[in-house]
Chain A
Amino acid sequence: MSHGRGFSVARLWAIVVKEFIQMRRDRVTFAMMIGIPIIQLVLFSYAINSDPRHLSAAVLVADHGPQGRTILSALRNSTYFQFVRQVETEAEAHAALARGEVQFLINIPENFTRELLRGDRPTLLVEADATDPGATGGPLGALPSILNSALQNDAKGPLEYLVSADSPIDLRIHAKYNPEAITQYTIVPGLLGVVLTMTMVMITALAITRERESGTMENLLSMPTRPLEVMIGKILPYILVGYIQMGLILAASHLLFQVPMVGSLWLLMGVTLVFIAASLAVGVTFSTLAQNQRQAMQMTLFFFLPSILLSGFMFPFRGMPPWAQAIGEILPLTHFLRLVRGILLKGNGIEEVIHQLWQIALFGVVVLTIAVFRYRRTLD
């Protein structure tokens, strides 16, 4: 009877084993854990399009003539673009694009005005982060007409001759990362986050409230086990489930939709672990707040809906109103979507990843703190 009163790995393992047996016996839930990714994959691989505005753009201006300015203000007036940064070098510009700080890069090269006036059709380079083609498609399509009408206004009088040419400038668009603008490229990796959010939060929320509702919690509490053993014991098995879901989705997106995987799979697995842990923490917290399984289910939906609507999964993030973006920034799914798209499509490495990752981790820590405060060792 003198066994340690501290944390016991043996008891933790006992809970893990029990959870696995119960998981195996609960065919419906098990089928759901496998079925949800597949069903969602089919449902969401349709394109979801919209017409976003005020997308963030950086400008790299090497020519300070009046025509350059005309073009920039025309772009701004079109309301498609919002210039959030002025960059000095191409390296800086590309870093901002890779990190997702801006979605567009407008590059006005040296001697732009001079070449334009000479009728030499200078190059105007627009680079776009097309990992989210729903967001970039509209603005890119509208670009030629915006530019033409801007120059026509400008070209009254002595510059009239410019208009007669087909187009006075040579507009070049580089849709980076997803050049063919295939929406499945965005949707499918995004689904990974959506499916994990849904199942991880729901299953842990239910797993603990179920113990309370069926009365087995009273039994568990009457045994010499620590709260942390119960919590971790409940979480561990579902991390494995999360990885199985991840494997399913990645395999499907690769085999069915030929989604490229540019970045490191190991990095993706590491990032996913943080995200799964944060989602499970949300589930555990719900289970300490909910009185019964029905409430746990409702709380899960309450969390899931904003996650799916405001994270940039459904609607292009930059196209949402500021208040919605502010809420979105709090949600782990928002950051996870950026991470998955960044790693899979852009080949982002640890440096680009860390900025989003700590925000997910912070969310998880805050939520878990609530859970530990709420978990009671007694029945009162």
Chain B
Amino acid sequence: MSEELAIDVRGMTKRFGKHTAVDHVDLQVRKGEVCGFLGPNGSGKTTFIRMLCGLLRADEGSGQCLGHDVIKDSETIKRQVGYMTQKFSFWEDLTIEENLDFVARMYSLKNRRATVRQSLERLGLTARKDQLAGQLSGGWKQRLALAACLIHEPLLLLLDEPTAGVDPIARRDFWKEIHQLAGQGLTFLIATHYMDEAERCHRLAFIANSKLLTQGTVAEVIENSHLTTWAVDGPDLLQLAETLQALPGVEQAVPFGSILHISGPDQAALERAIAPFRTSHYRWKQVPSGLEDVFIHLMEKPRETVST
């Protein structure tokens, strides 16, 4: 079984002074899987990814990454992992081609020129190869970064919010590319904020306040949240949202276009809360909880447990 796992780590912990940025996080990702890594800003995603590729020393934790010890063999892991940083981190005063060439030299690749040429072609960068990286738009920068972290044919890709600031078409192309690569056996761990992207992942891991809250497939994550959601359509929904939000049993009342999603973890309490409003003015319907409802639910939960 562990043969099949690309990432298998337990108890990963990182402290910065008094602050624990990552608190005993376990994560298992199978080979060829695309794992979405979700969590609000500052929850510890970047820190966790940096520990996986040896850029930060873990304070606690153990396990394997591509079959190598995640603590001791970080130099070996580095050669087999492609890491795409959250902030664009290629040399803005080098051209696309020069950046790729530099990376290829760093990994001591054989047939360096041919590899760089192929890499340019595959990601559609050939026409722009002499453009300075600093002058590229967000989408092209991201393509360059992806090309660069693929050039040494890694087995695992760690992508930290790769599509931030990228337009929808480029994002769609990007995800097509990722699923193609996953089909060839590459494993992905992708930190993201976007729900539509999360839904494209085989697996999800939610992290909030430095702790892993849940992991599993999209369906499992929704199932495990035990969240009930009702959709309501009618007049003056903003007023209704405010009224409902204050009631016990209602955790969220969020407008989605012209309808309102009301959700809460306790089905009976929720139905009790909305009962007085189920008049002919409104059209009510129970709907499956969306990933976003679950995401917000998970983010709110730790705060509640602290306050009670």
Contact = CB atoms under 8 A, between A and B. Distances in A.
A216 interface: yes
Given A21-B94, A224-B75, A218 B105 contact: no
B85 A218 contact: yes
Interface string A5-26: 1001011011001100110011
B88 A215 contact: yes
A223 B91 contact: no
A75 B225 CA distance: 97
In which size bucket is the chain A interface? 20 to 34
Contacts of A89: none
B108 A25 contact: no
Contacts of A215: 85, 87-89
B107 A224 contact: yes
Interface string A135-165: 0000000000000000000000000000000
A221 B50 CA distance: 11
B90 A216 contact: yes
B106 A224 contact: yes
A166 interface: no
B174 interface: no
Nearest to B91: A216
Given A25-B93, A219-B85, A8 B75 contact: no
A351 interface: no
Interface of A: 1, 3, 5, 8, 10-11, 13-14, 17-18, 21-22, 25-26, 214-216, 218-219, 221-225, 378-380
9 contacts: A18-B102, A25-B93, A216-B89, A216-B91, A222-B54, A222-B83, A224-B75, A379-B50, A379-B56
Nearest to A11: B106
Nearest to A3: B108
Contacts, number: 73
Interface string B290-308: 0000000000000000000
A295 to B, nearest CB: 20
Contact of A222 (B78, B91, B94, B102): B78
Given A25-B94, A223-B107, A379-B50, 15 more contacts: A3-B108, A8-B108, A18-B91, A18-B102, A21-B93, A21-B94, A25-B132, A216-B89, A216-B91, A218-B55, A219-B90, A222-B55, A223-B106, A378-B56, A379-B55
B178 interface: no
Interface residues of B, number: 30
A380 B16 CA distance: 8
> What 3 A-B pairs have minimum CB-CB distances, sorted nearest first?
A14-B105, A219-B89, A215-B89
B92 interface: yes
A341 to B, nearest CB: 39
Contact of A14 (B54, B80, B81, B106): B106
Interface string B256-281: 00000000000000000000000000
A378 B57 contact: yes
Contacts of B85: 215, 218-219, 222
A378 B78 CA distance: 12
B103 to A, nearest CB: 7
B53 interface: yes
A1 B79 contact: yes
B92 A214 contact: yes
Contact of A223 (B50, B78, B80, B87): B78
Contacts of B98: 18, 21
Contacts of B50: 379
A378 B54 contact: yes
Given A22-B93, A215-B87, A222 B53 contact: yes
A1 B80 contact: yes
A146 to B, nearest CB: 63
Interface in B218-263: none
B120 to A, nearest CB: 17
A379 B90 CA distance: 17
